[in-house]
Amino acid sequence: MSRQDGSGRLFSPPGADDAGAHILHVDMDAFFVAVATLDDPSLAGRPVVIAHNDQRSVVSSASYEARRYGVRSAMPLGMALGRCPRAIVVPPVFERYREESARMMEVFRSITPLVEPLSIDEAFLDVKGVERLWGTPGEVAALIRRNVRDEVGIPCSVGGAATKHVAKMASTATKPDGLLMIPATRTQEFLDPRPAGSMWGVGPKAAEALANRAIRTIRDVRETPVASLAAVIGVAQAQRIHDLAHGRDPRAVQTERVEKSISHEETFRYDVTDPALLRAELLRLADRVAVRLRRAGAEAAGVAIKLRFDDFQTLTRSQALSEPTAVGNRIGSVARELFGAIDLRAPVRLIGVRAERLVPAGSAALALWDDDTEWKQVEGALDRLSERFGTGSITRAAFLSRAPERPTADRPPENG
């Protein structure tokens, strides 16, 4: 099925068994760094960190040369430079990442129409039915790797399996710049020895909780009753990871991606201790989230907030809504209620608002009355003015007097 190189990376040799492995997960290797190297070839083979070059910045991505020193995404830049003093800091250029991501997705779609982008640097593909054109799943995976390198100029890793979960695990196991195919009949053989924390959706805290009960491998998860798992990580997650540990994952590749949440967050240039400023920032972010909801034709059935303190400890709070909404004032009101219940034990460096449990606009049953009617009219008028005069041209008067200094909005760290 696979071989292992000196670094522990798994890979499939040419002609390896790939029967039933029609779902591919393609993941770009250190994508932000790879794009930076396209623009500046002198960066090749050197320890590179993608981050804004100031003391408040965090690492968006790091080259594999930098990772050998323990540098990781989301790490404070100061800590990264402490571990790797010779690292070259390159500012992120998100427009370039979007350009190269679009080229990459076109390569995928030239092979199969069944492409599901997961993020800017990864996607699922279903290659069942294209065998007459391109060959077996393993041959298609090899073709994709060649075409991405030839047409985009950057490396990628590909995992193939009978399910999305196993395909994603395979691409992780073969990084960087590898190919690993898991035939359907050997799914359990691949899964069983791998760490429970390597499963998609099992975070560090859940992995630690499982390890405390001597549940360390996927085989341990598979052999543990669901009720016992539920006592550790909750009923919903227990059933899900129990199914995944058995190789059960019915999810198909979805060509139309539906966002599950919409969020905005900001990192302040200086830590903020003033609750009034933080409440104002929550409302500003809620307005931005609401604009994106309306543009997407969606409403939120839940609201969450995120706070990161000066010591990088992070907490989130969420609340379900009685009725879905895309009104910024309503989202902001809930966000501020959540904020009011938090003990501000330390200065805040980052704050965010997220709309969750999205549903199509107007899909909920109509209420007898609508407390947000006037705000809907106001925000609808603001949308029309923004379309005419540009985003940011119209804002609340409350935001004009005092505003915390902030750099460019944070982006999610890169996966690869």
pLDDT computed for residue 8 by the predictor: 77
177 belongs to an annotated ligand binding site: no
Residues 34, 64: contact at Cβ < 8 Å?
no
Asked if 91 and 107 sit in the same domain, the reply is yes
**What is 19-54 written as a DSSP string?**
TT--EEEEEETTHHHHHHHHH-GGGTTS-EEES-SS
Can you list the positions of beta strands (E) in 273-407? 298-309, 314-325, 348-360
The mean pLDDT value for 265-273 works out to 90
Domain at 84, CATH number: 3.30.70.270
The mean pLDDT value for 4-14 works out to 81
Which strands, in side-by-side order, build the sheet including 61-62?
A: 61-62, 48-50, 88-90
- Alpha-carbon distance of 240 to 252, in angstroms, equals 16
What is the model's pTM? 0.69
Residues 222, 246: contact at Cβ < 8 Å?
yes
The mean pLDDT value for 54-79 works out to 90
User: Mind spelling out the 3-state secondary structure of 335-361?
Assistant: HHHHHHCCCCCCCEEEEEEEEEEEEEC
- Alpha-carbon distance of 104 to 82, in angstroms, equals 34
User: Mind spelling out the 3-state secondary structure of 57-86?
Assistant: CECCEECHHHHCCCCCCCCEHHHHHHHCCC
Asked if 284 and 163 sit in the same domain, the reply is no
pLDDT computed for residue 378 by the predictor: 53
Residue 374 pLDDT level (bands cut at 50, 70, 90): low
**Selected catalytic residue, list 65, 100, 116, 122:** 122
Q: Is residue 414 part of a domain?
A: no
Q: Is residue 412 part of a domain?
A: no
Residue 226 pLDDT level (bands cut at 50, 70, 90): very high
Decide: helix, strand or coil at residue 195.
Answer: strand
Residue 259 pLDDT level (bands cut at 50, 70, 90): low
Burial of 191 (0-12, 13-18, 19+ CB in 10 A): buried
- Alpha-carbon distance of 290 to 333, in angstroms, equals 12
The region of weakest confidence among 213-217, 298-302, 315-319, 363-367 is 363-367
Q: pLDDT per residue over 342-370, tens digit each? A: 888 899 999 999 999 888 876 544 443 34
pLDDT computed for residue 400 by the predictor: 44
Asked if 91 and 25 sit in the same domain, the reply is yes
Decide: helix, strand or coil at residue 396.
Answer: coil
Q: pLDDT per residue over 13-55, tens digit each? A: 989 999 999 999 999 999 999 999 999 999 999 999 999 887 6
- Alpha-carbon distance of 205 to 211, in angstroms, equals 10
Last residue of a domain, one of 151, 185, 219: 185
18 belongs to an annotated ligand binding site: no
Asked if 110 and 171 sit in the same domain, the reply is yes
With a CB cutoff of 8 Å and minimum separation 6, the contacts of 106 are none
Q: Is the pLDDT of residue 218 over 60?
A: yes
Asked if 68 and 202 sit in the same domain, the reply is no
Q: Give yes or no for a cis peptide into 250 (omega within 30° of 0).
A: no
Q: pLDDT per residue over 82-92, tens digit each? A: 999 999 999 99
Asked if 15 and 124 sit in the same domain, the reply is yes
Residue 396 pLDDT level (bands cut at 50, 70, 90): low
Which residue bears the tokens 């409350």?
398
Q: Which domain holds residue 303?
A: 261-401
Which residue bears the tokens 């393993």?
138
Asked if 158 and 201 sit in the same domain, the reply is no
Q: Is the pLDDT of residue 398 over 70?
A: no
Q: pLDDT per residue over 152-200, tens digit each? A: 999 999 999 999 999 999 999 999 999 999 999 999 999 999 999 999 8
Q: Is residue 381 part of a domain?
A: yes
Residues 272, 347: contact at Cβ < 8 Å?
yes
Can you list the positions of beta strands (E) in 59-204? 61-62, 88-90, 115-119, 122-126, 156-161, 179-181
Asked if 142 and 229 sit in the same domain, the reply is no
Asked if 231 and 143 sit in the same domain, the reply is no
Beta-strand pair 10-11/3-4: antiparallel
Tokens of 167: 């395909």
Residue 122: active-site member: yes
The mean of the pLDDT values for the chain is: 86
- Alpha-carbon distance of 139 to 19, in angstroms, equals 12
